[in-house]
Amino acid sequence: MSRLHSLLPIVALVTALGASAATYDAAVDWNPPNNPNGTWSYRSGSTPLPYQPSVVPLGGAGGYAPSPAWEYFLPLFWSAGGGADIYVHSYDPGNGKSATGEAALVWTSPINGKIDISGYLYYAQDQLQRSNDINLSLGGNSLLVATVAYDQHQDFANRLPLSFSQLAVAAGEQLVLTFIRSPGQPYGTVTAFNVDIVATAVPEPAAGLLMVGGLGLLWGLGRRRG
């Protein structure tokens, strides 16, 4: 029993050494014209959107959209960069003639492990009385369903927070944040947001056991010499 207790600190050390955390911040990581950009992808349905360096409705600024032209530019993602909030205009048939689906931000996990999610969303077209429905899912399982509207989460001060801790993920699993114009509305609207993910990898069991065995052997040799 005393040997088992003596090995517990070694097991704890192996766990600490094997776990490594990385931070993925959608606003900070904004890096056109790449899509996907590392773990992040801006999509219409399941199709990554091409970067348009000059979108007419944005006054010539750039964004991810099916096309830069009127009638074809939705869904649309854009940002000033440098860590500023990201904006998305949801799809509607009036300007989405090239669309392949709803607006979606996708994060693809590069690790097996756990993730913490934080962030926020708020309405960003205050001159119009519209709304977007929000769906956040991980691996196809819904984490959040909400509405961001002109009278609900209508600005940064009243933003909708995102907060989820220690969610298990597998490499290749996707976190999907979807923006959909609310039912009954003919047109989409704009939501501002950011998503921050802290991902901690879990060491492979075989590697962990090998480390425990090796450290245990060193512990045993040290005991004999003592």
Tens-place pLDDT, residues 139-182? 999 999 999 999 999 999 999 999 999 999 999 999 999 999 99
Residues 14 and 27 in one domain: no
Residue 113 has pLDDT above 50, yes or no: yes
Per the CB < 8 A criterion, the answer to whether 199 and 109 are in contact is yes
Are 26 and 94 found together in one domain? Answer: yes
Mean residue pLDDT across the chain = 88
Confidence of residue 3 (pLDDT cuts 50, 70, 90): very low
Residues 87 and 190 sit within 8 Å (Cβ to Cβ): yes
Instruction: Give the total number of structural domains in the chain.
Output: 2
pLDDT of residue 48: 98
Per-residue confidence (pLDDT) for residue 14, from 0 to 100: 44
What's the CATH code of the domain at 123? 2.60.120
* Contact yes or no for 54/60 (Cβ under 8 A): yes
pLDDT band at 206 (very low <50, low <70, confident <90, very high): low
Which tokens belong to 71? 């009638």
- Considering only CA atoms, which of 222, 145, 221, 147 is closest in space to residue 191? 147
Q: Do both 110 and 139 map to the same domain? A: yes
Provide mean pLDDT across the span 89-111. Answer: 97
Long-range CB contacts for residues 31-40, cutoff 8 Å, separation at least 24:
32/62, 32/63, 32/64, 32/81, 33/62, 35/64, 36/106, 36/108, 39/107, 39/108, 39/109, 39/110, 40/105, 40/106, 40/107
166, 223: one domain: no
Integer Cα distance of 221 and 196 in angstroms: 46
**pLDDT at site 154:** 98
User: Do 9 and 105 share a domain, yes or no?
Assistant: no
The CA distances from residue 89 to 6, 43, 105, 138, 215, in Å, are: 58, 12, 12, 22, 55
Dmax (CA) of the chain? 81
The rounded percent of the chain whose pLDDT value lies above 70 is 82
Q: Which domain holds residue 226?
A: 1-19+206-226
Q: Specify whether 107 is located in the same domain as 38.
A: yes
CA-nearest of 42, 27, 30 to 176 is 42
User: What distances in angstroms separate CA 29 from CA 85, 137, 179, 206, one per listed residue?
Assistant: 11, 21, 20, 33
Contact 65, 96 (CB under 8 A): no
Is the same domain home to 112 and 223? no
Q: Quick one: 63 and 4 in the same domain?
A: no
Whether residues 65 and 153 share a domain: the answer is: yes
User: Tens digits of per-residue pLDDT, 31-71?
Assistant: 999 999 999 999 999 999 999 999 999 999 999 999 999 99
pLDDT score at 204: 72
pLDDT digits (tens, 9 = 90+) for 8-42: 444 444 444 456 899 999 999 999 999 999 999 99
Query: Would you tell me how many other CB atoms lie within 10 Å of the CB of residue 38?
Result: 12
pLDDT at residue number 19:
67
pLDDT at residue 106 greater than cutoff 80: yes
pLDDT of residue 209: 46
